[in-house]
């Protein structure tokens, strides 16, 4: 059971890891009036973190998001330490933001459990690792959850609150209230599924496009152009993969999925196109090449007219189907999925808004056609429409 009744009862927050995410999470909580203890084993990292926090808070003041008289007060609320025990000794709430490796995080959570006060809530900022395993290495699994922030935390409004089967419902509600209290928008991921909500929808967005290109059914410029200029996404799927390093992440993460027995765990098959690029060292923009060549430019050349003959529903349908699976399995609500994609992905509309726009029957038809044409794709992405999508189509209903 939690010892806190309201978000206001959480007065001292600790952040473990002073990297890009940790420092931003610390700044947001300090601006919201919390005392923050920022920990890292590297003193230089801590110094760099405070310099960055001071800069980011200053930019917020310049843009009118933070009052001038709050700048110094917020900075004074943050203290740094290279002692984990000191960082969490008086903490009501701890956010872990270390390297994205399951084993490393489990080791950190053992230490947090040993040093944090009884009743303190422990959260991980992982973007998709197993939160349940982190909870189970502690003696307080009912007080462990995920709070997945988006980069940069100072600017991105969304935070996913991830449940495990051990999480006390009162703690889940408290965390949702706390995220709101510090000025962010929470969505609930009610089951610990791989990639949670937002990143789970991003996967078919990229992989549907990759399979289309692999089978020669559309050129990457066609797909990117259609999704960016006609559908108004910030980036097309290939441009986005190059920007985030998604080619490398997807191929190197393939083995992790083999060991993942959580609900809605992914099939392990990766489009061969990604393997081909990976073997050539074409990981994306930072590597100089990915789907596109960045030797002479910082951004790919994608003509606005290139996608005029491409049907965006070939990408949308697998995304909508994946979103519907989450609702069917009570992972998330329709509203939370759409809020997540609009705030966390900067999408023009959420998957269910799009489904209502075109009609569930049309989405089902596209999914069935995908499965019939692309047997390997179907095995990798499970594009046959899920029960919820089929039932909604048969009943002629809408999601809203």
Active site residues: 127, 148, 160, 199
Q: In this structure, are residues 108 and 98 in contact, taking their beta carbons and an 8 Å threshold? A: yes
Return d(Cα 148, Cα 99) in angstroms, integer: 14
Residues ≥6 apart with Cβ < 8 Å to 328: 386, 387, 388
């Amino acid at each position: 059971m939690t010892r806190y009744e309201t978000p206001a009862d959480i007065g001292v927050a600790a952040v473990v890891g002073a990297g890009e995410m940790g420092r931003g999470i610390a700044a947001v909580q300090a601006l919201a009036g919390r005392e923050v203890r920022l920990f890292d084993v590297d003193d230089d990292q801590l110094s760099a973190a405070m310099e960055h926090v001071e800069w980011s808070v200053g930019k917020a003041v310049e843009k009118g998001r933070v009052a001038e008289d709050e700048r110094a007060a917020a900075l004074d609320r943050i203290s740094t330490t290279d002692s984990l025990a000191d960082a969490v000794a008086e903490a009501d709430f701890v956010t872990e933001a270390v390297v994205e490796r399951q084993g490393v995080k489990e080791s950190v959570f053992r230490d947090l459990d040993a040093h944090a006060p009884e009743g303190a809530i422990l959260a991980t900022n992982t973007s998709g690792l197993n939160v349940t395993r982190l909870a189970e290495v502690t003696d307080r699994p009912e007080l462990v959850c995920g709070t997945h922030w988006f980069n940069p935390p100072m600017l991105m409004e969304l935070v996913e609150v991830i449940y495990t089967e051990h999480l006390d419902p009162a703690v889940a509600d408290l965390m949702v209230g706390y995220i709101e209290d510090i000025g962010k928008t929470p969505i609930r991921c009610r089951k610990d599924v791989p990639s949670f909500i937002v990143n789970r929808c991003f996967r078919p967005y990229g992989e549907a496009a990759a399979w289309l290109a692999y089978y020669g059914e559309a050129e990457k410029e066609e797909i990117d152009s259609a999704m960016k200029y006609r559908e108004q996404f910030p980036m097309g799927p290939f441009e986005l993969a190059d920007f985030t390093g998604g080619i490398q992440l997807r191929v190197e993460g393939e083995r992790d999925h083999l060991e993942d027995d959580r609900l809605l765990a992914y099939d392990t098959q990766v489009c061969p196109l990604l393997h081909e690029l990976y073997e050539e060292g074409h990981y994306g923009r930072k590597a100089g090449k990915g789907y596109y060549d960045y030797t002479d430019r910082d951004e790919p050349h994608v003509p606005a007219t290139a996608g005029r003959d491409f049907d965006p529903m070939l990408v949308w349908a697998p995304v909508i189907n994946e979103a519907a699976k989450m609702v069917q399995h009570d992972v998330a609500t329709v509203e939370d999925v759409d809020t997540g994609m609009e705030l966390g992905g900067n999408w023009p509309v959420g998957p269910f808004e799009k489904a209502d726009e075109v009609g569930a029957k049309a989405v089902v038809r596209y999914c069935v056609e995908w499965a019939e044409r692309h047997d390997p794709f179907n095995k990798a992405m499970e594009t046959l429409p899920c029960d919820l999508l089929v039932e909604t189509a048969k009943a002629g209903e809408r999601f809203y």
